[in-house]
Amino acid sequence: MDAVDRAVLTELAADPRLPTAELARRVEVSVPTARDRLRRLQESGVIRGYHLDVDPAALGYPVAAFVRVRPGPGQLPKIAELARSLPQVSECHRITGEDCFLIKVHAADVGSFEETLDRFLLHGQTTTSIIQSTPVPPRTPGLG
């Protein structure tokens, strides 16, 4: 992870669809070098992948919420499994604290959360926080 690697990451973060040749130009190294650096960053797992950012509203989910779930006794694996199986869930984290899971849930309107929450309520208690806005959209930490 030297300056060239960081420059590759910074440029690719700015535009993940950048072709290798253009990437080389911006980082100011030769094409084979850029290509090798990129390959190594991918194979070593520094670059985990690429994501398409789709507006959930266009897919019928204009509202989103973070739901904390505190599982009942023995219900912990079922909650993770349920989260994975629901298309309304876009994220699920195991966390420390009184609640064991933090789940991002999407819905057609504020009322529609009920159905999804009911599925989780079978296995524990839930605390729901509607997302009103996102002052800092997802970004890579530490890349300026």
- On whether the CB atoms of residues 78 and 123 are closer than 8 A, the answer is yes
Query: Any contact of residue 4 with DNA (CB under 7 A)?
Result: yes
The one segment of 24-32, 43-51, 117-125 that binds a copy of itself by CB under 8 A: 43-51
- On whether the CB atoms of residues 123 and 79 are closer than 8 A, the answer is yes
Residue 60 beta carbon to DNA: minimum distance, rounded to whole angstroms? 21
Q: Which of 4, 29, 31, 80 binds a copy of itself (CB under 8 A)?
A: 80
Q: Which is nearer to a copy of itself, 33 or 66 (CB)?
A: 66
134 binds, among a copy of itself, DNA, none (CB under 5 to 8 A by kind): a copy of itself
Which position has the token pair 């590759």?
8
The one segment of 8-16, 29-37, 59-67, 122-130 that binds DNA by CB under 7 A: 29-37
Could you tell me which residues come within 8 angstroms of residue 23 by beta carbon, excluding any fewer than 6 positions away?
A: 8, 11, 12, 34, 38
Q: Which is nearer to DNA, 39 or 94 (CB)?
A: 39
State the number of binding residues for a copy of itself (CB under 8 A): 63
Q: What separation in angstroms does the CA of 64 have from each of 84, 119, 133?
A: 17, 16, 10
HSE-CB for 95 with a 13 A CA cutoff: 13
Query: Any contact of residue 10 with DNA (CB under 7 A)?
Result: no
